[in-house]
Amino acid sequence: MLGIPGATFRAGDFLAPLYGIVLGPLLGPLAIAIGTIVGFSTGAPPVFLGLDFLPSASCAAIVGLVTRRRQVESSILNSVLILVFLLLPFTSIFISVGNYLVPYVWLHLVGLALLVSPIGRRAAEEVTAGWRGFRENAPSYFLGHFWAYLVLAFAGTMAQHMMGGILTQLVVGINFHQIPGKYHSWQDFWTFIFWVYPVERSIIALVAALLGSASILALKASGLTHRLPSL
């Protein structure tokens, strides 16, 4: 992860939306938490005092809620994450871009807007359509799943990033009284992340959509969706 020495992306960062869709808003985050803790025992060092599972778990919870027709709860959870981040003492609310001040969370607000909009609801319906019976086998069907999954993955990964920002402040700033990396101020740190995270999150959402949409179609075709938690 750029900007946070020692932190690396894990498979769960790309698969978190799939955990939410398949296992739901409770079992999905729980599976991620167990997997992360098991990973510590195999030598993967914790970066956020053992709370490293929270970003991916947040993504799974938000995607799990919206795919369970609980769009309001999903949006509230996402909004709470943004609000908590903005209220923390080391947050840089605005970033200077030329002669303008741009909110640091501008893309997170786009993710939230997608989540609360009819686009988010339609994406959830598309991904879970045919959950109890796969009937189609056409390229257009995969494309529809891909774009729907991309919407959910993008909203989820933005929430994931927001939780990462919260943990960075709580652990590095408040607990250790430090600034991440070799930056001279928190403003410098957030300015660097501001330019990086849109590209980083877009790549994560695209990879997640490629893997996840194919996995969902495979589950439907195999009939295994009959054995998964009910929507």
39 φψ region: left (φ > 0), alpha (ψ -120 to 50), beta (else): alpha
| In the chain, where the domains are located | 11-227
Percent of the chain with pLDDT over 70: 89
Q: Per residue in 175-230, pLDDT tens?
A: 999 998 889 999 999 999 999 999 999 999 999 999 999 999 888 888 777 767 66
pLDDT at 25: 95
- The secondary structure of the chain as a DSSP string is -TTSTT----HHHHHHHHHHHHHHHHHHHHHHHHHHHHHHHTT---SSTT-TTHHHHHHHHHHHHHTTT-HHHHHHHHHHHHHHHHHSTT---EEEETTEEEETTHHHHHHHHHHHSHHHHHHHHHHHTTTT------HHHHHHHHHHHHHHHHHHHHHHHHHHHHHIIIIIIIIT---STT-SSHHHHHHHHHHHHHHHHHHHHHHHHHHHHHHHHHHHHHTGGGGSPP-
pLDDT at 157: 96
**Side-chain-side CA neighbours of residue 158 (13 Å):** 26
- Give 10-residue mean pLDDT values along the chain (231 residues): 61 88 94 91 85 95 95 97 98 96 98 96 89 59 88 97 96 93 92 95 95 89 73 57
pLDDT at 1: 59
- The CA distance from 217 to 138, in Å, is 11
